Amino acid sequence: MLTDHEKELIAKIWDKMIPVASDIGAECLLRMMTTFPGTKTYFAHLDIRPRSPHLRSHGKKIVLAIAECSKDISSMMVTLAPLQTLHAYKLRIDPCNFKLLCHCILVTLAAHMGDEFDPVAHAAMDKYLSAFAAVLAEKYR
């Protein structure tokens, strides 16, 4: 699915995002909830105002999970197994929302990375995030 060059590029991008994980993650979540208001229902128990501690905390978890998977993409199924179970059986998140979030992540990365997020990086990240969303949705089948 991904070339070695794309895997290196993805890992490099996510490595840069780790120090700003709370900011990037919160922005992705806020973008998703603003663009797709139906996704707010899964966060009714959290304070989802911009820059809220809840939003930043959950956003950081998301970014760190994506960054962790980027280190060894071939073991994504194993890395995400606990999150698959959590989202499918306990939280009962509609798997369509994973794709929506991944789209918002792409937009946020493009906004923050500027020229660094060139067409090659964009295409590689789109493939990676599509795989990430598909793996998270695996327990629903």
Digit-coded pLDDT (tens) for 23-53? 999 999 999 999 999 988 878 788 888 889 9
Contact 95, 65 (CB under 8 A): no
| Lookup: tokens for 3 | 């070339």
Please tell me the total count of domains within the chain: 1
Maximum Cα–Cα distance for the chain, whole Å?
41
Q: Provide the 10 A C-beta neighbour count for residue 41.
A: 11
Compute the distance between CA of residue 1 and CA of residue 124 in angstroms, rounded to an integer: 10
Give the range of the structural domain holding residue 133, as residue numbers without chain letter. Answer: 4-140
Per-residue model confidence (pLDDT) at position 122? 97
Enumerate residue ranges in the chain where pLDDT < 50: none
Would you say the C-alpha torsion 95, 32, 37, 61 has a positive or negative sign? Answer: positive
Single pTM value for the model: 0.89
Instruction: Identify the CATH number of the domain in which residue 102 sits.
Output: 1.10.490.10
